[in-house]
Amino acid sequence: MFRDGGSGTTTAQHLHGWIPGDPRQTEAEAESIIRAYEDIGMRVSYCYALREQNHLVYEANEQFLARVPAEVRPLLAKYFAGFQMPAKETIALFDHLRAKHKGKERVRIQLAPSNQQWCTDEGLAMLADSAEKHGVPIHMHLVETLYQKQYARSRGDGGTAVDFIGRFGLLGPKTALGHAVWLSESDLDKLAATHTSVCHNCSSNFRLRSGVLPLNRLEARGINTAIGLDDVGINDDQDMLQEMRMVLRAHREPGMDDRVPTMAQVFRMATSGGAQTTPYATEIGTLEVGKTADMVLIDWKGSRSATPISIAKRQCSTR
């Protein structure tokens, strides 16, 4: 139920979109990633993230090239030219992969506009239409940093990033926003009203100095939240148990009010909350009749001793 692998994880939401190059090469990379998940028996919700502009800074590639020293321009121009996956080709890849892997129990394909600054208006509209047409979830990073919050104001005529993506129908129960650290109070109200989810990447936010998600305010509004580990390149490990403990401790607000996450809340974020952000929402996340049961058994005696925690994964079905 957690994004990008980890200890005890049975389902990964794999966001792929950082390898520039020929679209045919991208397809081969996508297939190799999906095949790897199949080989190890882990569920995957794969998506190639749309990233079609502002590839290096919060500015059009052409404008940025005009400002750098002349001797640097050829190298940067070559780098920018490597990104050859506009929205139309990204959706074509989605259609191809979805048709090829249709019906597989442990492979699903979804869509991902990578972030507001990397997507054109046309691209956001096209992905929103495709997601609606096929009924697939969308995962989108949003306001991960203060810089992205400021960018949203300049692009959206003073409105927030949440206001902006709402114009394209990108808010709703099938949308999960990654990080979402710099949300306003009105943003939170909109997410609650539209039943949009948030994927909380606590340790990654700390490592990158992105800020602290206002988790208690999300929880107070009933917004569905999930726990994500993010990628190992921007996180120090892939330890879900440590991540859960960090979420439990990081949001204990000072004061007399008891606004602190409970163990039950964190457990829900790591199970059913995470499941809701994937195409497997009706099949996993809780132990009940009709759903696939994924259990991680922890040796209590081992966990209390000096020896490493012994984790045994068990998969069974109640059907």
The whole-chain average pLDDT of the chain stands at 89
What is the reported pLDDT for 7?
61
How far is Cα 172 from Cα 196, in angstroms, rounded to an integer? 5
Which of residues 174 and 22 earns the better pLDDT score? 174
> Among residues 238, 315, 262, which one has the least CA distance to residue 284?
315
- Distance between start and end Cα atoms, the chain: 20
Q: Is residue 1 part of a domain?
A: no
Residue pLDDT, tens place only, 241-273:
889 999 999 999 888 877 889 999 999 999 999
Residue 314 has pLDDT above 60, yes or no: no
Domain that holds residue 75: 11-286
The 3-state DSSP class for residue 242 equals: helix
Whether residues 267 and 319 fall in one domain: no
Residue 16 lies in a domain: yes
- What does the DSSP 8-state code read for residue 158? T
Burial label, 223 (beta-carbon count in 10 A; 0-12, 13-18, 19+):
buried
Report pLDDT for 285.
92
201 Cβ contact partners less than 8 Å away, ≥ 6 residues apart:
3, 178, 179, 227, 228, 229, 230, 235
* Statement to judge: residues 118 and 232 lie in one domain: yes
Which position has the higher pLDDT, 2 or 52? Answer: 52
**Domain count along the chain:** 2
* 306 and 199 share one domain: no
228 DSSP β-pair partners? 3
Longest dimension (CA), the chain: 65
Question: What number is the average pLDDT over the span 129-152?
Answer: 97
